[in-house]
Structure 1
Amino acid sequence: MQVKGSSPTAVPFENVGTGGDTRWHICDPGGQRLGGQGASGNSGSFSLKILQPFVGSVVIPSMALARLFECYNIPAGDSCTTTGTPVLVYYLSGTINSLGSCSVNAGETIEVELGDVFAANFRVVGHKPLGARTAELAIPVRCNTGNAGLVNVNLSLTATTDPSYPQAIKTSCPGVGVVVTDSQNNIISPAGGTLPLSIPDDADSIARMNVYPVSTTGVPPETGRFEATATVRINFD
């Protein structure tokens, strides 16, 4: 915050001077009298820093931002202190709106069922085993930015990669991974790979992905269930 008579000061602070009034008639024998406008504390500015990103709106409730105190007939060498009742209290309130927001599947979890596959068919590293199905996903995407025209977005995939085959998502069953591709069968890396899209603003759109299991070692895995988890985030321009 910057107060008249001082340089920008980090908050919180106390006893920052705002300048003084040296007019000879500041105090008269018959009582206090101050003509015109006082030169103390009549200007200032502040800056807000957003520490954490947010989507939508944040309401700032009314809060006391600063208090101004005035002193009269201060003896030489003394200073005005923040005691007693302030002559002015500066309040801050308002609403901060983000530029816009986007959502993937309305923020809900997407569950993918890949069905049953014979363990003996997991034979070739990076290949979908014989008899395995490919799940074709049509993921709802919607943006509200307030701008007319198309919105450029990127869906990014984040998951634990399989150490034996990093292009696949690691599952709970060693030797089995899950691959995610775009509609053209290009693999989307689980280490932050992206799917770029251009979609209309304030309208429902669809992002298409394919998901299927692969062998990550070339060695048939143990019989049993496998599970994996991934996060899809959306960034927009």
Structure 2
Amino acid sequence: MADETGDPVFPHGLRPVRAGNGFEEALEQILQVVRLGLVPDGGRLPSERALAGLLGISRVTLREVLKVLQDQGLIEARRGRYGGTFVLPRTGAPADGDELRRRAAGVDLEDLLLFREVLESGAAGLCASRGLDAAGADRLRGALAATHEAPLPDYRRLDTLFHLTLAELAGSPSLAARYAAVRADVNDLLDCLPLLVRNLEHSQQQHASLVEAVLDGDEEAARAVMREHCAGTAALLRGFLA
């Protein structure tokens, strides 16, 4: 079925993404559309203009999303009079997708992601409200700098160390211990996902904003940035699990 412009209409419409995680949430939604079979094998996605409008994102961001899907072997772009972006036949999920589903079957994903958000936003808020001494501030800045300089294969490890550093600086050993356990479970799932450069760049921007809020003593901003950051990770996992 198509609308008056010739663009196909999804059985379940896409919705505008929230500000802050446009790339991740757009990727989640289109992954769900493709992997749930809402567009048949060989079917054409709406035009870039239509998709960008439905999702409320720029066409530049949309193209980055579509490149990820193309790299995953889910869609292909065709040029010419009858060109567009088409869903490739489903010959089975990639090996990492199979492994992600296997691992996710052993956890309550929504509970895990919610608990992570509570611990992370709580740690960020505590660090901001209590303030960090000079040594603590230097530790946090150093952990942030390490992620900025990380080669791609080392990024996830150094990202984990950044978050663990924040949890430890909150001043509650119990919080830090529980966060370490939760992060291990989250990493077990994240290790099945490809490292997406656009997502990592966005994460780095959020990390920098988080450190700035903590060092400024702005508890509300620190909690808000961390909640947004966690929501981006959650969107990626839900998308690849669709």
Q: What band does the TM-score fall into relative to the shorter chain?
A: under 0.3
Larger radius of gyration: 1
Bigger helix share: 2
Higher RCO, 1 or 2 (CA under 8 Å, sep at least 6)?
2
Q: TM-score, normalised by structure 1?
A: 0.25
Give the TM-score of the pair, scaled to structure 2: 0.25
